[in-house]
Amino acid sequence: MPDPSKPRRRSLLAALFALAGAPKVHATAALPASKLPRLLLAGPFASVSNPLIRMAESGALADVAGKVEFVSWRDPDQLRLMALEGKADVLAMPVNVAANLYNRGAKLRLLNVSTWGLLWVVSRDPSVKRLADLRGREIAMPFRGDMPDILFGLVAERAGIDLRKDLRLRYVASPIDAMQLLVARRVENALLAEPAVSMALRKTGSFPLSLIAPELHRAVDLQSEWGHAFGRDPRIPQAGIAVMSSVMDRPEVVSRIADAYAQSLDWCNANARECGRMVVRHIDALLPEAVADAVASSNLRAVPALDARAELAFLFDLLLKKNPALLGGRLPPDDFYARTQPPGRSR
């Protein structure tokens, strides 16, 4: 049986798109009287999972569970299976998938949003800076009808771009196909997510910048375009972590998970190079330099789901109007949003 933490390169890069040293533990909620025998953390091969890997490696939750492990999910189908069958205790996932699963009967609550900016149009043309610059051009788009495609469409339409008339969208089966077309010079533009963006730049020698013009460019920051299009801050609540049925009704455990994730994310942001080395110990198809580049260029901040609710509601309302199936037919109710115990309680 293959080791799920070291997938084949194709499975790894497909999952990239979809989305070390012990930390200081601050006093939070009262801890459980007895440890859980095992706590299983699962996520995709993307930046949202970096803190989960850190939590497993550093012993951040040693007071909560006898064994804490990280495993990866390779694609959306495996994610849904793990959620619906209760095969993980904590799952990192896109926020719309969490809402969809909840509305389909999965026992989960969204704990936080930590991924606020990962999507870029990567181009060979340095003159491409805004979505409007893509008029009349071809762009490779992985996963037709999935979250990145939908977000791109929402922003483009809001900016007055007719997707059928003004752009030539070349849908491909997976992110690796989009990246290969770009690297092979068979397309000039592709929508990618970190760390796929940094991997592409590293593979073509386009980063760091040098006296030689890079082959590829971070052309269009989709988060900035979102802000311009909707008059909002340049960030999109894209992904976070959800607590599943095994732990979601144990507030002291949920609070410890939330605290450990936030501390681990802070560590990754402050130690990008070491974070890169840590991640490739679990995902060996990635380059540590690309992981570090992705951390430095992404908007990663753990915001409790309740605090992010207004921004989530704005996004969910757009998705519901665009395609109700993306959310399982309705906005998620209050119970979808996890509540944690306030910090500072003694044991």
Instruction: Say how many C-beta atoms besides its own lie within 10 A of residue 339's C-beta.
Output: 15
**pLDDT confidence of residue 285:** 75
**pLDDT confidence of residue 278:** 97
How large is the greatest C-alpha to C-alpha distance in the chain, in angstroms?
A: 63
At residue 234, φ and ψ (nearest 5 deg) are -75, 65
Domains, the chain: 9-116+237-336 (3.40.190.10), 119-230 (3.40.190.10)
Q: Name the H helices within 137-174.
A: 147-158
Residue whose C-alpha is closest to residue 99's, from 195, 303, 299, 237 = 237
**pLDDT confidence of residue 199:** 87
Q: What residues contact 276, with CB distance under 8 A and at least 6 apart?
A: 286, 287, 288, 289, 290, 291, 292, 295
**pLDDT confidence of residue 2:** 45
Given a contact cutoff of 8 angstroms between Cβ atoms, the answer to whether 240 and 114 are in contact is yes
Per-position pLDDT tens, the chain of length 347: 444 444 445 555 555 555 533 334 444 445 555 789 999 999 988 899 999 999 999 999 999 999 999 999 887 788 999 999 999 999 999 999 999 999 999 999 999 999 998 999 999 999 999 999 999 999 999 878 878 898 999 999 999 999 999 999 999 877 777 877 888 889 999 999 888 899 889 888 765 544 444 689 999 999 999 999 999 999 999 999 999 999 999 999 999 999 999 999 999 999 999 999 999 999 887 899 999 999 999 999 999 999 999 999 999 999 999 999 999 999 999 999 999 866 544 33
- Residue 136, token pair as written in the block: 């009349």
Q: What is the DSSP string of 257-271?
A: HHHHHHHHHHHHHH-
C-alpha span between 248 and 83 (Å, rounded)? 13
**pLDDT confidence of residue 14:** 53
Positive or negative CA dihedral for 75, 188, 211, 127?
negative
- Residue 153, token pair as written in the block: 């469409």
Predicted TM-score (pTM) of the model is: 0.85
Given a contact cutoff of 8 angstroms between Cβ atoms, the answer to whether 288 and 280 are in contact is yes
